[in-house]
Amino acid sequence: MNPVQPRPSRRIVELDALRAIAAINLMLFHFTHVYSVKYGYSSPLGFEFPWGKYGVQLFFMLSGVVNALTILRKRSPIDFLAARCLRILPSCYIVIGLNIVFLGLAPLAALHTWSSGQMLANMTVLPNLFGYECLEPVMWTLQVEILFYGVLLFLFSRGWLDRPLAAIYAWLAMCLVGCLSIDAVAAAWPDGGLAAGLGFLRQVLLLDYFPLFAVGILLHDIWLRVKGMEPEETGWKPVATIARWNLAGIVAALTVFHVTDHYDHNPVVSLGLTVLLAMSLFGWVPVLRCKPLVFVSSISYMLYLLHDNLGAVAIHWMNNTLGLSPQICFAVSLPLTIAVSAAATYWLERPLSTFLRQRWNALRGKTASVPAGTSTTLPEAAG
């Protein structure tokens, strides 16, 4: 077998579709369950979609796949960080600016206040580490994502991403022991400074969420090695040999995640998402290539960041000011949020990202820049 080297290939549209599905999942969750609990429709909506936590879970697993590939292709920590910052920060700052407006409108204004300190903390994309809440609730995942980049850079700098299994097992062991120990300390001394300090360390080391990223990294490693095989070698037995220990690592990661989980994720759903992600990575789910999902995936990052507060303002206005029924408010809020997210993507985020990318490429002495939206081997993962 030839040595495996990361190399460009066609865009995997199924992964784009999974990103769209995850964003839609969260939108349905926030417009039904969360809005009903936090703000309340004028009359019962009549149904709920309570499974939003699985959209976040899928985003983190996708991120493990995509970012492992990105850093291996770039082979430069600086270029990796620049690519991620150019992907995240323009959208993040646009959303922060829009949320300053949203938080002054009903129903958000009655429940939320913000300060200049909170806004500045949010601009670091790590507000929780500084003791502040996110202006847009879903942006807590960006902090997790940024911290994951730090973990990924550490693994890359040690040369462990080319053979990630041992390093991932070690980190999973730290996640398991760390979470259980910190929970025990918090239960014994809930008001002590030790519990607060350990909680901070828990966030920084991603003890709760690294197992989900690990699933994606190991799936990517299987994909990369199978893609590097010669055609005559790609029968079931060679593939199974390559995948065996990585599959064991995936099982270990899911086990650690559920043993330490505080949010009652269903292990069967987690396993199903893992299988779906693996099948999509290898292009085995062609039904996901439909154009509506591909379109939503193209705006999914902005949709993910914008939808919660934007949807709450739109639903409240239609329900309480216009007097429309909760069912109509819900139905209209979906295409309205998608439309606003598309406008923000195409008119704000992409021009700004393109400009910044061109300036970065010029600074790095590159002869050509990659325009926003250009296909790469794998799509960027939102959140």
Digit-coded pLDDT (tens) for 303-354:
999 999 999 999 999 999 999 999 999 999 999 999 999 999 999 999 999 9
Residue 237 pLDDT more than 90? no
Residue 21 pLDDT more than 90? yes
Residue 230 pLDDT more than 70? no
Residue 233 pLDDT more than 60? no
How far is Cα 65 from Cα 278, in angstroms, rounded to an integer? 10
How far is Cα 92 from Cα 103, in angstroms, rounded to an integer? 16
Q: What is the pTM of this model?
A: 0.90
71 compared with 236, residue with greater pLDDT = 71
CA nearest to 138, candidates 267, 225, 26: 26
Where are the domains positioned within the chain? Answer: 13-40+51-156+211-217+259-363
Residue 339: count of CB within 10 angstroms of its CB: 11
Residue 235 pLDDT more than 50? yes
218 compared with 239, residue with greater pLDDT = 218
Q: What percent of the chain has pLDDT over 70?
A: 89
Report whether 62 contacts 381 (CB < 8 A).
yes
- The confidence band for 160, taking pLDDT boundaries of 50, 70 and 90, is confident
CA 12 from centroid of its chain's CA atoms: 17
Residue 202 pLDDT more than 90? yes
- The confidence band for 112, taking pLDDT boundaries of 50, 70 and 90, is confident
Residue 381 pLDDT more than 50? no
- The confidence band for 269, taking pLDDT boundaries of 50, 70 and 90, is very high
Of 75-79, 180-184, 220-224, 295-299, the poorest mean pLDDT is in: 75-79
How far is Cα 329 from Cα 334, in angstroms, rounded to an integer? 9
pLDDT 10s digits, 93-108: 999 999 999 999 999 9
What are the backbone angles phi and psi of residue 158, rounded to the nearest 5°? -90, -5
Q: What is the dihedral of CA 297, 298, 299, 303, to 10 degrees?
A: 20
Q: What percent of the chain has pLDDT over 90?
A: 69
